[in-house]
Structure formats: C-alpha cells, structure tokens
Amino acid sequence: MFDPIEKLKEYVRHPSVSADSKFKDGMIGAQEFLRGLFTNLGFVVDVVPTALHPVIVAKRGVDPSWPHVIIYGHYDVQPPDPLKSWQTPPFEPIVLGNLIFGRGTADNKGPLMVHITAVARLLEKDPQLQLRITFVVEGEEEIGSKNFKYFLKENKHRLAGDLIYMSDNGILAPDQMVVTVGLRGMIAFEIELTGPKSDLHSGIHGGALMNPLQALVELSASLHASDGRVNIPGFYDKVMEPEPWERDQLKDAGLDEKKYGEFLGIKAFHMPPGYTPFEAVRFLPTLEFNGFSGGYQGEGAKTVIPSQASAKITCRLVPIQEPDNVKEMVFAVLRERCPKGVTLKITEQHYTAPYVVIPPGRSNTPKNQPLALANCFRALEKEAAEIWGKPLLYLREGGSVGLLSDLKELLGLDAVMMGLFLPDSNLHAPNENFDLDVMRKGIETSERVLASLAATSPK
C-alpha cells in the first residue's frame, strides 16, 4: 500500500533549492527520488537535462485511443531563509496535528504527491488502466521556468496530450475546492532617468535644472489617474470584462473585505471604480512600482542632486492583453511624457502572457473545447462537490505563472488546476505546511477524476 505521508516526508528531506547552487545535492536527491518512485509505479522515466536543472518525464500507457493527461509539478523549492523563524527544521518534515511541516510540503511536493498517490492507487486496482499519463516535473519553477520553456520547445512530441492536470495553486479553506481558471500576465522593466553628468551639490546648483528624482516622480505620477486606473491610452482596450458567472463565483467565495484589509494592514483599499478589491486583483491589469532608487539613501541627509534616478516597474496583464502590445504603449507614453532636461532609458526585463481557460457550460465557453478537457472539468466538479461537501469554485487569480501561457502556446493545451494549498500554508515563508485532511480529500478527488477520464476510453 502506497503511503503518501511517508513518501512525502522522504521527498521533502531532499533540500531541492533551485536558486542556490550549494543545494545541488538536494536537487539531485529529489530527481533520483522521483525517478525511483515513478519507476516503481511502472512508468518509463527520463531525466531530461536542461541548461540548469533537469526535467523529469515519466510516462505510462501507449494506446493512442486512450485519453492522455499531462500532470505537471515542480520538484524545486524556495530557499528556507530566514532559518531562525522556522519552528522545526525545514528539511526534516514532521507531522504536528493535522499538518505536515517542511519546505516544499505545500509548494509543490505535497500537491504533486497527491496526484502520484491517486495514480498509484488506480494502478494498484487496475494495472491495465486505460489512460495515458505523463508526469512532467521541472526543477526551475521557483526561478522562473526559463529552461522549462526551452524544454517544451524541444519536447513537443513527448507531450502531445489532451490536457494539463496540475495542483500548484491554492484553495480558500479546507472545505472549499478552488479550480484556478486564469492568471495574470506580466511585463517587467526598469526606467532610468539621467540628468546632469554627475551628482551635484543641491545648494550650488539647485534651482537651475531638472532634478532626475523630480523628473522620475513627475513621470511616474502621470501613470495613474486619480480614480486608480492606469493612465495610459489604450491600456484597458484588450481587457476582457469578467462574465457575470465569474463575478458570481467570486461572490460565492464569501471573501470578507474587512478581514482582507486587516490581513494587509491597510486603512483603505484603492482600486478603479466598479470593482471590489477581490475583483480588481483578478480581473484588472496594474502598473506597479516595485522599487525606486536614486540619490542618497544612507543615514541622515545628503544635499545632492543625483545624476540618475530609476524605478523598477511591473504591469500585471489580464486576458486578452498581449505583453508586446502593452509594452509598446507603456514605453511610448514614458518616452512622450519624460520631462525635458533628462534622458530616459528603458530596460526590458521579462514578460509573461496572461492565461485563462473557460470551464464547460459557461456563457463564454469556446464551442470547440476539447472533449478530454471538458470531461476533466466536469468530473472534478462532480467529485469535488461530493468529497468536499460543496460546489467547487472557478476563480481567476492575480499572480502570474508563465508556464501556463507557455504550455498553451507551445503545446496548444489548457490546464485543469485543482487547488490544494491553504492561505496559511506559508508558501515561500518559514513554517511552510500542508494540510493532511486536504491531502486525503485531494487524493480521493484526483483518483476519481483520473478514473473518470480513463472511463472515456473506447473499450
């Protein structure tokens, strides 16, 4: 009998931090653990090298008439810092009450183990299960999945499935299944304004020239209107208005504005008119300043007019905004509004397209939606309602996961994203944990969903 908790503990003990080369052994350990696990389950496993961390590909089932589900996960984890804030050692997983603690328990080792366990149980019951399954587990999700994109380009043939099935997203409460159906995209760039050729004494020269910091604030302040909207012509042109069913799902989630405000620690929300804060972070694009620098930042005062000032900026994008198009309009406005007397330099950093998938039977479901995808959504709806005690919610989220738009673009596949971690699972933070009751329900749900997909195979 496959024991998911013992297997998860074993998996978490490998400190597979992708961002830091001193965890190389942990990365290799996690790869070998997965290789062994999938091999034992009867999968054909390939550890595919990339420019940095390999991708694990594990396949079973060869009959082309069977549905083919691609199960995505990542074996890399965030660095455990700050170590002193952990109440138990991050790489010594331990069960306390209903939770298992350890780095990666929630992001993404626990959720992946849910699907591995579901598959193990199905195969135990029926080794001839009529379902093609390909696990694709990458090792660079926490550092941007850059090499995973190259891997996808070069391995399209291995990944010609019917849908992506995965759990790298959250739920609202232990009794509320959430399926994520959209993520925002992003463009990231930096602007640098140069005025005088070197830093100047603000007494001797102040008053005769445009201070680059002043130019930066004037330029930056022009980017938002007083109503909270981004003040760039055309910015909202390709924003897909949420369908009424989407707003309804969000209302059904019963999110509490007062509690959210307290959680953030703010006195007031600030978003464009006509949207709740929960809607704004999911359905609207943003232009956000992530960091400013320029001039003196040390102790006390320094009377300087700096030569340069810069800002790091990201825009979150929503369907069907296109990163290239938004980039062009933002950059054009920056160049147009840049105050005289300073020179503007824009440095592009990276970008991610927004992603959305519409479940079957909705007002805006595409007519040509693939059958396997629709079947998976329907099975999940049915089983989640039974196992979790209430209907699942289809929600878009505010974050960005580039690989979804990459999978869509490169493989032509949409994803069914079954949420499994909780708001207090402490992702990317000390004392990361995974709820064992959620795990148990997740395994049961996943087992039934996959069985349901197998049942659509021609007998």
Tokens 């080794």, residue? 127
Q: How many residues make contact with its own copies (CB under 8 A)?
A: 98
Structure tokens at 435: 């709820």
Q: Which stretch binds its own copies (CB under 8 A): 120-128, 156-164, 187-195, 382-390?
A: 187-195
Minimum Å gap between C-beta 277 and its own copies is 4
Measured from the CB atom, the residue of 56 and 219 that comes closer to its own copies is 219
Smallest distance from the beta carbon of 224 to its own copies, in angstroms? 6
Q: Does 188 bind its own copies (CB under 8 A)?
A: yes
Applying CB under 8 A, the span of 90-98, 111-119, 214-222, 232-240 interacting with its own copies comes to 214-222
- Which is nearer to its own copies, 139 or 161 (by Cβ)? 139
The 10 Å Cβ neighbour count of residue 449 is 26
Bridge partners (DSSP) listed for residue 180: 395, 417
Q: Minimum distance from CB of 102 to its own copies (Å)? A: 17
Indicate whether 343 belongs to the interface with its own copies (CB under 8 A): yes
Interacting span for its own copies (CB under 8 A) from 96-104, 117-125, 294-302, 383-391: 294-302
Per CB under 8 A, 304 contacts its own copies: yes
Containing 16, the helix (H) or strand (E) segment is none
Q: Which residues are registered as beta bridge partners of 421?
A: 170
Can you read off the two tokens belonging to residue 166? 């995965």
66 or 283: whose CB is closer to its own copies?
Answer: 283
Q: Which of 127, 244, 273, 300 binds its own copies (CB under 8 A)?
A: 300
Smallest separation (angstroms) from its own copies to the CB of 175 = 20
Task: Map residues 88-127 to x or -, x wherever contact with its own copies holds by CB under 8 A.
Answer: ----------------------------------------
Q: Rounded CA gap, 77 and 17, in Å?
A: 5
Q: What x/- string results for residues 348 through 387 when contact with its own copies is judged by CB under 8 A? A: -xx-------------------------------------
DSSP string, 41-93: TT-EEEEE--SSS-EEEEEE---TTS-EEEEEEE--B----SGGG-SS-TTS-
Q: Which residues on adjacent β-strands are paired with residue 118? A: none
Footprint (CB under 8 A) of its own copies, residues 35-74: none
Among 50, 202, 231, 325, binds its own copies (CB under 8 A): 202
N-terminal to C-terminal alpha carbon distance within the chain: 28
- Smallest distance, Å, CB 280 to its own copies? 4
Q: Residue 221 interacts with its own copies (CB under 8 A)?
A: yes
Q: How far is Cα 436 from Cα 427, in angstroms, rounded to an integer?
A: 16
At 251, the amino acid letter reads K
What's the closest the beta carbon of residue 416 comes to its own copies, in angstroms? 20
Chain centroid, CA 361 distance in Å: 26
The distance of Cα 242 from the centroid of its chain, to the nearest Å, equals: 20
Does the footprint of its own copies cover residue 179 (CB under 8 A)? no
Least distance from its own copies to the Cβ atom of residue 448, Å: 28
Instruction: Calculate helix-pair angle for 4-12, 24-40, nearest 10 degrees.
Output: 150
Q: Which residue has the tokens 């006390």?
A: 300
Closest distance to its own copies from the beta carbon of 395 (Å)? 12
85 forms part of the interface with its own copies (CB under 8 A): yes
For residue 341, the minimal CB distance to its own copies (Å) is 4
**3-class SS at 134?**
strand
Exactly one of 427, 436, 449, 453 binds its own copies (CB under 8 A); which one?
427
89 vs 431: CA distance, rounded Å = 9
Residue 217 as a binder of its own copies (CB under 8 A): the answer is yes
Whole-number Å distance between alpha carbons of 177 and 175: 7
Residue 315's nearest CA partner among 396, 229, 219, 226 is: 229
Which residues inside 234-293 make contact with its own copies, applying CB under 8 A? 260, 264-271, 277-278, 280-281, 284-286, 288-293
Report whether 94 contacts 101 (CB < 8 A): yes
User: Least distance (Å) from its own copies to the CB of residue 298?
Assistant: 7
Please, what is the angle between helix 371-388 and helix 436-454, to 10°?
140
Q: Whose Cβ is closer to its own copies: residue 255's or residue 455's?
A: 255
| Rounded CA separation 258/269 (Å) | 10
Q: Contact 108/73 with Cβ under 8 angstroms?
A: yes
Closer residue to its own copies in complex, CB, 5/344: 344
Cα–Cα dist 329/435, whole Å: 44
Query: Cβ closer to its own copies: 225 or 320?
Result: 225
Stretch that binds its own copies, among 34-42, 122-130, 235-243, 306-314 (CB under 8 A): 306-314
